[in-house]
Amino acid sequence: MTMAVPQLIHATLAQLNKVILGKEQQVRLALSCLLANGHLLLEDLPGMGKTTLAHALAQVCGLEYKRVQFTSDLLPADLIGASVFEMQSGNFRFHPGPVFSQIFLADELNRATPKAQSALLEAMEEGQVSVDGTTHRLPSPFFVIATQNPQSQAGTFPLPESQLDRFLLRVSLGYPAPAVERELLLGRNGRTLLASLPQVLNGQRLKALQSLVPQVKMTDTLLDYIQRLIAQTRQTDVCQLGLSPRGAQALVKSAQSWALLQGRGHVLPEDVQAVFVAVAGHRIMGRQETQGEQLARHILSKVDVVGNGRG
């Protein structure tokens, strides 16, 4: 590695922020998701820059990028590929689908049928696909960015909780700030910058960074705080659906990854708080159908950061 880790991270973030203006927090979340080796769910309206973000990530990280627009007639084979008979050799040969890429953008994931969705979700979880009894390993790193349109729900198949759980983080980009909007109105186009974006990372460097994430230290005091948060999500009078152990692991991993992005070798409560909404928002559910995100924010404000009770 020619560059020290902090500089590397700083440079990566700087490049990404050049393309996605005024969304440092979300960009950081997306990158920490990538570093934590998890998958990202972007939930937003069309035209908010989801695709641009995915593209920029691929470009900066030097990864191979593919995109599929999900529709209701999408078949699993359209994603993972199929075995095709070849006249010349007289054999079946596997033609890999778009899922064989390092960054895979699944646009409007909830438009596809559950069958197609689960094909992708299996690939995400296992890191491999099986076709006709043969197992094909997916490239590494394999990073899925799925987008969802939360608004028009007609003709969609909302992802069940078990599948939402596969995504490490859920992030919304949201509307740009007025100043940024002005720049956009003046004709600045992130997409055009994409081509000129220098490649900061490569597969090897990314892997090195990913291996650093589990080494970020957590003290007992911090783990107490995390456990208090988790316990609060499991309080039956607050939540109907609490954070699962896998969700809790996701919280720790993301917090470590976030701390690494901050250039720290240990996790602070602020790191946990920064990722908590993105981790828990799509995993917990309130009593009266409260939005998970809202509930997560409420829990953050309720649970005392200081102290050593475990909740």
Partner 1 sequence: MDKQVTYSGMIWLLAAQLVVMLPFVFHLPFWLLPVVLFAAGWRLWVLAGGAVQPGNMTKLLLVGLGIGGLLLSGLQFPSLEAMSALLLLGFAFKSLEVIRRRDAVVVVFIGYFLVALHFLYTQTMLAGLYGAFSLVVLTGAMIGVQQVVEEFSAAQNVRFNLRLAGVILLQCLPLMVLLFVFAPRLQPLWSLPLMVDQAKTGVSDHMAPGDIEKLSQSDELAFRVTFKGERPPQDQLYWRGLVLNHFDGREWRQFDDAYDLERLKYAAAHEYAFHPENMQVLGDPVEYEAVYEKSGQPWLFTLTPALKVDGEVLQAADYRVMAAQDVQAPLLLKATSYPQSLRDVQLDPYVRQLALQLPTGGNPRSRDLAQRLRAQAGSEQAYIDKVLARFREQQFYYTLHPPTLGESDTIDGFLFTTQRGFCAHYAGSFVFLMRAAGIPARVVAGYQGGEWNAQGKYLTVHQYDAHAWAEVWQAGKGWQRVDPTAMIAPERTEQGLEAAVQAEGSFLENNHFSTRNVAWLKGLRQKLDAVQYGWQRWVLGYDGEAQMGFLQALLGELTLAKVAVLVGGLGGAIVLAWLLLLGLARRGEREALEHQLYRRFCALLAKRGVVREAGYAPGAFALQAAQALPTSAALIREFTQVYEKLCYQPDADGQAAIKRLKALLRALK
Stretch 239-278 residues interacting with partner 1 (CB under 8 A): 266-270, 273
- Out of 1, 133, 289, 304, point to the residue binding partner 1 (CB under 8 A): 304
222 counts as binding partner 1 under rule CB under 8 A:
yes
Residue (112 or 222) nearer to partner 1, CB? 222
H-only helix segments in the chain: 5-19, 24-35, 50-61, 76-80, 114-126, 161-164, 178-185, 190-196, 203-212, 220-233, 245-261, 269-280, 292-302
Q: How far is the CB of 285 from partner 1 (least distance, A)?
A: 16
Stretch 179-218 residues interacting with partner 1 (CB under 8 A): 217
Residue/partner pairs of 240-244 with CB below 8 Å, 24 or more apart: 240/285, 240/286, 240/287, 241/161, 241/283, 241/284, 241/285, 242/284, 243/280, 243/283, 243/284, 244/165, 244/283
Q: Residue 214 in 3-state DSSP?
A: helix
Q: How far is the CB of 8 from partner 1 (least distance, A)?
A: 23
Residue (1 or 306) nearer to partner 1, CB? 306
289 counts as binding partner 1 under rule CB under 8 A:
no
Q: How far is the CB of 289 from partner 1 (least distance, A)?
A: 14
Q: How far is the CB of 230 from partner 1 (least distance, A)?
A: 15
Residue (121 or 303) nearer to partner 1, CB? 303
Cα dist. 84→90, 120, 129, 255 in Å? 10, 20, 16, 44
Stretch 40-69 residues interacting with partner 1 (CB under 8 A): none
Beta bridge partners, 130, equal 135
Those residues with Cβ within 8 angstroms of residue 4's Cβ, 6 or more apart along the chain or in another chain: none
Q: How far is the CB of 273 from partner 1 (least distance, A)?
A: 6
Residue (119 or 261) nearer to partner 1, CB? 261
Say which residue the tokens 């627009």 belong to.
69
Q: How far is the CB of 237 from partner 1 (least distance, A)?
A: 8
Across the chain, how many H-helices and E-strands are there?
Answer: 13, 11
301 counts as binding partner 1 under rule CB under 8 A:
yes
Q: What's the CA gap between 304 and 225, in Å, rounded?
A: 8
Query: What is the total count of residues that contact partner 1 (CB under 8 A)?
Result: 22
* Omega prior to 139 cis, within 30 of 0: no
Cβ-count burial of 260 within 10 angstroms (0-12 exposed, 13-18 middle, 19+ buried)?
A: buried
Q: What's the CA gap between 135 and 102, in Å, rounded?
A: 18
Q: How far is the CB of 267 from partner 1 (least distance, A)?
A: 7
Q: How far is the CB of 302 from partner 1 (least distance, A)?
A: 6
Residue (231 or 300) nearer to partner 1, CB? 300
Q: Among candidates 146, 167, 202, which has minimal Cα distance to 275?
A: 167
126 counts as binding partner 1 under rule CB under 8 A:
no
308 counts as binding partner 1 under rule CB under 8 A:
yes
Residue (34 or 274) nearer to partner 1, CB? 274
- Out of 115, 137, 191, 302, point to the residue binding partner 1 (CB under 8 A): 302
Contact residues toward partner 1 (CB under 8 A) are: 217, 219, 221-222, 237, 266-270, 273, 287, 300-309
